[in-house]
Each structure stands twice: as C-alpha cells, then as structure tokens.
Amino acid sequence: MTVTKGHKGNRHNPGMALDVAMFDGHAVNTSAVARRAASLTARRSVKGAWQAAWLINAIRCMDLTTLAGDDTPARVARLCAKARQPLAPDLLTALGLAEMPLTVGAVCVYPTLVADAVRALAGSGVPVASVATGFPAGLMPLPLRLAEIRYAVEQGAAEIDIVITRAHVLSRDWVALYDEVAAMREACGPAHLKAILATGDLASLRNVHAASMVAMQAGADFIKTSTGKEGVNATLPVGLVMTRAIRDYHTATGHIVGFKPAGGMKTARDALAWQILMREELGRDWLSPELFRLGASSMLGDIERQLSHHATGRYSAAHRHAIA
C-alpha cells in the first residue's frame, strides 16, 4: 500500500456517501482477532539499535497530552517545552542524534488552552490538537459541539479530536452517526478531524468495525480508539479491527486514513507493540506522524529511560524524565 500524499497539513480524507453495505453483516471472529493480536508481538522482537530507532519514531508520533481539570497555561507551556525538546541534549548526543530535529507529533489540550499552546509552540512546527464536542462523553446538543469545534479552530488548533455519540452505534443508527461526523468534519474547516470511537463503550468488535467505517465515510482523517476515560481503552485486538477497517476503506476508495490508539499505554513496550501492529497491518507508510499517533504522555518517560539505558548501559531514575 503506497501513500501518495503524506505531508502534514495537506492530506484530508474526502469521505464518501454512506454505504452500509461496506460493513453491515461484516462478521468479526473475536477469538481469531485475539490470537492474531497476541501473535504480533510474540513473533516479532525488536532489540538493540533497532529498538532505539523504533522508540525514537514513537516520540515523533506521540500526541503529548494534558486533559486534567486543573490544567493551567503554565502547565501547558511546560508541556509545550517538552514537545519542542522531548529528549535531553546529552541523551541525544549519546545516541548520536545531536543534529536530528526531534519533536513530538502534536500537543493536545482543551479548547480554552489552545491559544496558550499555539503561543508556546510558535516556530516549532508542532501542531496543536484540541479535544472538542463535549469531551469525553459527547453528550451535548450538536450545535454546541459544533460551536466548540469552531472555537478551537479559531484559536489555532490544527487538529480536532471529536467524540462520537456512542448511542448511535449501540442502536445501529448509522445515518445519525454519519450525519453527526459529517457535520463535525465541515465545522473543522482546514483542521484535521480525529474521530474518537470510545471503543470500550461499543460492546462488540463488530460495532467497532462498523463505527470505524461510518466515521471514515463521513470524512474522518484519523480514527482513534478511546478518550482515555473509559473503563477499557486502547487494546491490540480493537486496534487490529480498526486498522483492518482502514485497509478495507483504502482498498475500496483509495482514500487514506490515519490511526491513533489512546489510553492505557504507559511503557516503551507498548510503543513498540503498537508500531508492530501498524507495520504488519498497514505497512511502513503508516509509521509516520502524518498517519499514526500515540495518544499517551506518561509513555514518554519510560521511552526516555529505555533510550538512556541503550546509550549508557544504566537505567536512570524516573524523576529525571519529567513530562512537564
């Protein structure tokens, strides 16, 4: 599978008319999905310099995120400083990467903090993403959710992480879900739309597949597993179903859609596992920040510790790798 347009900022999924035949009646063998997901990391091992390279790539694809009720402009500014320089200069030198421009994929904040993040990231090339549409539950009237999208874009957000109405999926009201996401796509204007499916709330892998297809048909540029607030967040079986949906959608339409797992990912091992999934299911083109994001922040600290161990042979203390 070859990506012909992957540069950040110039690729949108144009979507298509709702076509229920692309997913209705699509069976998902849960036990087979579980076996395939388990085999991904069991069959492929990444060690030494290769592991270090994959971990560096994980940093490039990371959405550094703060979505706490006590977020402040000062906290966002510290997070943005980390986004600009995710690894300490001495560690980059030890890894032989002192001249490599390394930043994260994006910084994700609430809409009211977008302007602060934009100012802190000016000139860095790191885009600002914002959750919207009544994150995390999404249970607000649609006009208010659309207004929140427009506000975040006006403040400078280049990416919008929306949440779908889970009830539309659970009741299999695909027209309502399609119309909702399509309206959100229009409200985003030039910004990229990342559709959060909240897969832990969707009850079945069959529903995950159907919701993925509807979101892509409605114009989502990325599909994303979770808000990070559900009881169950990103899992490899769910990721497998969503990446297969991306592959099928691309085969049917030629349109390219990115993927973002989020929630519950904390370790460097998790970063490797998700990249292996992308490499195996979608190919190398999807191992770039244009088409793959990791919605995790605490993971960065463990990645730094693993890279420090690779460079020095010693594990550093966790407090040396603060996120912000």
Known catalytic residues?
161, 224, 260
Strand partners of residue 163: 196
Of 54, 51, 107, 114, nearest to 81 by C-alpha is 107
Residue-wise over 246-260: b if at least 16 C-beta within 10 A, else e?
bbbbbeebebbbbbb
- CA–CA separation, 63 and 216 (whole Å): 21
Please give the full DSSP string across 170-196, using - where no structure is assigned: HTT-HHHHHHHHHHHHHHHTTSEEEEE
Query: Where do runs of H (alpha helix) occur along the chain?
Result: 30-43, 48-60, 73-84, 89-94, 114-120, 142-154, 166-170, 174-188, 205-217, 236-253, 268-281, 298-312
- How many Å apart are CA 86 and CA 97, to the nearest integer? 13
Q: Do 63 and 260 contact (CB within 8 A), yes or no?
A: yes
